[in-house]
Amino acid sequence: MMLNRHYLRLEQRLSLIEREIDELSAKGVLTKYETLALDKYLMQLQIEWEHFIRRLILDSATGQHQGSSGRVFSTLPNPPKTREQALYTLLSTFKGNNGGREPEWSHSNKAIDAATRLQLSNLPTISGYLGVTPWPLDEMRFLRNYIAHQSKSSAITLRSKSMTSLSGKISVAKIAFDYVSSGTQRYKSWPAFMKIVGRQIV
């Protein structure tokens, strides 16, 4: 099987979500229902990326997939044969099996760590593309954390990263719809970056 199928799914899902957000962005002032919908779509962007990275790394360990440069596999003495086995093998490398908790796949450094623990043959490609600094998708994660938790610490993070003003009420819509240095709206910059990296990493 080709790893590229994971990218094709990612691209399709991101395009669908982006179109939904485009409609909300065009409205200007959002109703309460539309605000909740925006929150859901923004969180879904990160979920799609997490699913993509998880599938990519775990499937790469099975030896059953082909990347752009040929077959990818784990160089562990007893490599896993399925995605489920790959996850079990990964968790077994953590002290106490990490309490059964999977890595936070949206954290690029934790995804690289997972690929390292599984001793993937395509680790140089994964670490090369996920190791980019600064990592643009950190902003997406910070906003997702604020939406999910509405905590003081998540609000402080948004302010410290200059994603919103240092005081006053935080508007998720304003953050998402703001234009960034590239000249595109912030919410559009994330799927664009995911598509670039996703295409290269498979």
Q: For residues 146 and 159, what is the distance between their CA atoms, to the nearest angstrom? A: 11
* Confidence at 4, pLDDT banded by 50, 70, 90: very high
Region 97-126: mean pLDDT is 95
Res 167: pLDDT: 84
Phi-psi region of 185 (alpha: psi -120 to 50; beta: other; left: phi over 0): beta
Q: For the whole model, what pTM was predicted? A: 0.95
Q: For residues 79 and 160, what is the distance between their CA atoms, to the nearest angstrom? A: 43
Return phi, psi of residue 122, to 5°: -100, 20
Res 179: pLDDT: 95
* Residue range 11-63, pLDDT digits in tens: 999 999 999 999 999 998 999 999 999 999 999 999 999 999 999 999 999 99
